[in-house]
Structure 1
Amino acid sequence: MAHLLDLFTLQLLFGFFTPCLLEIASTDHLSVHPGENITLLCNITNYSEISWYRLRSEEVNLLISAEKFKLEKTFSLRYNVNESHFDMTESSSSVSLVIIGVRETDLGFYFCGRRNRTTHIQFGKPIRLDFTVTQQSTGAALRIIMSVCLVSILIIICMCVFCCKIKGKSVLSGNSCSNTTDSTEKEENIHYASIQYKRRSRAAAKKNTASDSDSVTYATVASQPRRH
């Protein structure tokens, strides 16, 4: 049951995020230098009312709104959140957004929307606005990444050398202990032998003519290993 619930949850998440991912993947990307002016084109045409919005930090703000009346052939600006910073131009039966002196607070996603008498019924293709990345900043970022990689490699090499030294010391100590134990066992297993020489009397030697050599008796002494 839990497995089916997890599978159902994954399907819901996939169905929810797939349109968002597809929309972000189809977003147009524009780069601009700080302080420059830029014009954003709207792909919605032939509608009487068009508005521009900005999405930044999960907040949507209406920037401008323009409307074309029946007796007029051009759009008239009805709303502008900041007249000194935003403007509009008409092109191809649509309204383009003009940003004057782009600032960092202007970075984000922009999109236009058409509107009928009551509600919004269609939004245009999103446009992502970013600052142009200079070669100098790219080179600095690359140098930082390379420095971090080199430091990481050096740390890994030092750790490997340290581990090898510790492992070598443990092997040498184990071998010395085994050699000491073997030598001790060899010393405890030594057998001592002594020779006892008994001389026979001349009378006994005369009686036993078959053997005229002296008899030799060997005695052995063995030491028992120590108990630990």
Structure 2
Amino acid sequence: MSRISVRGFAVASATAVTAVGSVVGVASGSTAQNNDAEATAAGATLLADIPAGQQAEVQTASLTQQADAQAIAADFTAKKDAEESARKAAASTAVAKKEAAVKAAEEAEAAKEREEAEKLAASRSEARADATTFAVQSSYSVSQIQSMARQMVPGDQWTCFSNIVDHESSWNYQAVNPSSGAYGLFQALPGSKMSSVGADWQTNPATQIQWGLNYMNERYGSPCGAWSFWQANHWY
């Protein structure tokens, strides 16, 4: 190998090493890459002055250095790729957990609503007396009217039902509002709407109770729903 060809090989090898070293240096944040390049260039210049018998060893060392530098760069890239993959996997897992938590909460809320609906349906379907159960009388006392109502209204709705009647008519089935004409236990306006249950709506408290219970269930879901509305608005 001539002096010129040896020098050209050395310079090419040094340039390759410097380029790889620069990549590694930038990736790792090193500030010493310029010094390394200058030192390598200086080494390349001196290669031509090494005796011919030792030049092969120098060339082998240079190639080994290149391979090591490339391996370091590849290892760094692999680590960065692994970190990015781990970050994406963690983010995906977090999103999946959040979606699962939201779904679980929605299912729990839906189950609660179903349970409440089933309880209400069971309460309504419970065998209760209706307006036709009671014998017609010429007059009724408050205690008699309340006794009929207790047999017609579900137990868990009784207090709410009673509170409304207390405020509307004080259990007087013939109560009349002098200004509006509202009539009966529930102050229906007009009172004639209670005829949907029975023609004797003016004289039979059982007919009025049946109508009032139907009205509360249909409009507010239950007597307690009606009572909640009444408390907020003082009418229902």
Q: Answer yes or no: same fold by TM over 0.5.
A: no
The structure with the greater share of residues assigned to strand is 1
The structure with the greater share of residues assigned to helix is 2
Q: TM-score, normalised by structure 2?
A: 0.31
Q: TM-score, normalised by structure 1?
A: 0.32
Which has the bigger relative contact order, CA under 8 A and spacing at least 6? 1
